């Protein structure tokens, strides 16, 4: 399932469409953060970008994280989505679009919502900025300038639109090409296209921000798993995981840590041998994140008191093999590492 279930339709709104007092509060927090000096960055070559909507210490993250893209001096609040690959901006919002190098038509589909983004690829440099003013720059890279939103026949959340405005998504995931994103290759990932890269390519996502770049010291405390090379592509295969239902036998497939959603998407075997179509409240889902032994992400269906549980669980009973899209609330229990150069993902439990 690709992330980014509900892309923003206003330049400053987060993807979930917050309104009224919440937007005013976010604007006030962003203004306060922008007035602060950039935090001291580590001397190990990594850069930390705090999210504009990061929760205070001790408060769970409940919404997809937001950074800013700055293009020709114009800032776009953008959702950082580990469930897709590629930067998507409304064509009408890109300054001097007709002067940019053109690279042909493009399409990106968010399978969780059913939105189909259609436009054309342009090449430009991006400035990616955090809430404290820290920023990184990319090399000239492809960006999908969309002029139309269409809907899949089975779309869950979609409204078609011609010449949309305010759409701003930044997909930084991997292994997304077989999930309706054939152009979601690593060169479309802005975090892998930085102009200056002193350390290994990749990132670590926390509740409060993202560390760009990977070092041995920065991976301390992470349990990691080696990824397989993707067949026929210069990318990695999805991260493995083994799922259990109510202490039943494990069924192994894959996991997608997706910061673009608050809902979990799940394909899991039922006791009768098929795939589950309904999970009653109280059912326990165990997600073994490493083969054999290692950390387990456990969710109880209907438990509203657990900050790491998703807002809801959507069963996908027709999947070919077990699969789980965790939702952003996974970050309330683990920090998440992706090492693109060594082909590793890692998980570090929060204390």
Residue 3 has a pLDDT of 57
pLDDT in tens, 178-188: 766 777 789 99
Stretch among 127-131, 156-160, 302-306 having the lowest mean pLDDT: 156-160
DSSP letter (8 states) at residue 319:
-
Mean pLDDT (the chain, rounded): 87
Residues in a beta bridge with 116: 109, 150
Percent of the chain exceeding pLDDT 70 equals: 87
pLDDT of residue 153 exceeding 70: yes
Q: In what order do the strands lie in the sheet with 323-325?
A: 296-300, 284-288, 239-245, 251-256, 323-325, 263-267, 312-315
**CA distances in angstroms from 344 to 103, 201, 228, 326, 333, listed in the order given:** 31, 11, 9, 18, 19
Supply the pLDDT for residue 147: 94
| Domains in the chain with CATH codes | 20-219 (2.40.70.10), 239-349 (no CATH)
Residue pair 159/151 in contact (Cβ under 8 Å)? The answer is yes
Rounded to an integer, the average pLDDT of 114-138 is 95
User: Model's pTM, two decimal places?
Assistant: 0.86
How high is the pLDDT of residue 172? 97
Across 323-336, average pLDDT: 97
The predicted-structure confidence for 210-258, as pLDDT tens digits, reads as follows 999 999 999 999 999 999 998 877 899 999 999 999 988 999 999 999 9
Instruction: Write down the pLDDT at residue 284.
Output: 95
Between CA 340 and CA 328 the distance in angstroms is 20
Answer for the pair 330, 336: CB distance below 8 angstroms, yes or no: yes
Least confident piece of the model among 62-71, 90-99, 289-298: 289-298
For residue 322, the model assigns a pLDDT of 94
CA atoms of 228 and 225, how far apart (whole Å): 10
């Amino acid at each position: 399932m690709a992330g980014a279930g509900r892309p923003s339709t206003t330049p400053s709104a987060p993807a979930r469409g917050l309104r009224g007092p919440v937007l005013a509060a976010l604007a006030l927090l962003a203004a306060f953060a922008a007035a602060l000096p950039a935090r001291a960055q580590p001397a190990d070559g990594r850069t930390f970008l705090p999210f504009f909507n990061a929760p205070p210490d001790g408060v769970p993250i409940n919404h997809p994280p937001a950074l800013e893209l700055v293009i020709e001096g114009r800032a776009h609040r953008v959702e950082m989505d580990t469930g897709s690959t590629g930067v998507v901006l409304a064509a009408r919002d890109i300054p001097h679009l007709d002067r940019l190098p053109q690279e042909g038509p493009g399409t990106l589909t968010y399978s969780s919502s059913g939105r189909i983004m259609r436009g054309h690829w342009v090449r430009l440099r991006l400035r990616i900025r955090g809430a404290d003013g820290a920023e990184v720059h990319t090399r000239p890279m492809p960006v999908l300038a969309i002029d139309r939103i269409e809907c899949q026949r089975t779309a869950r959340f979609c409204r078609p639109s011609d010449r949309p405005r305010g759409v701003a998504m930044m997909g930084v995931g991997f292994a997304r090409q077989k999930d309706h994103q054939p152009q979601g290759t690593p060169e479309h990932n802005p975090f892998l296209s930085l102009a200056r890269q002193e350390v290994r390519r990749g990132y670590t996502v926390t509740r409060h921000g993202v560390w760009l770049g990977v070092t041995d010291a920065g991976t301390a405390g992470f349990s990691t798993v080696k990824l397989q090379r993707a067949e026929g592509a210069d990318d990695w295969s999805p991260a493995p995981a083994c799922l259990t239902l109510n202490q039943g036998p494990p069924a192994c497939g894959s996991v997608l840590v997706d910061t673009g959603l608050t809902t979990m998407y799940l394909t899991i075997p039922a006791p009768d041998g098929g795939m589950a179509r309904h999970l009653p409240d109280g059912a326990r889902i165990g997600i073994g994140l490493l083969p054999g032994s290692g950390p387990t992400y456990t969710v109880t269906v209907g438990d509203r008191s657990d900050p790491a549980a998703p807002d809801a669980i959507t069963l996908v009973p027709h999947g070919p093999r077990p699969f789980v899209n965790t939702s952003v609330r996974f970050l309330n229990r683990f920090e998440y590492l992706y090492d693109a150069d060594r082909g590793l993902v890692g998980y570090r439990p929060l204390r």
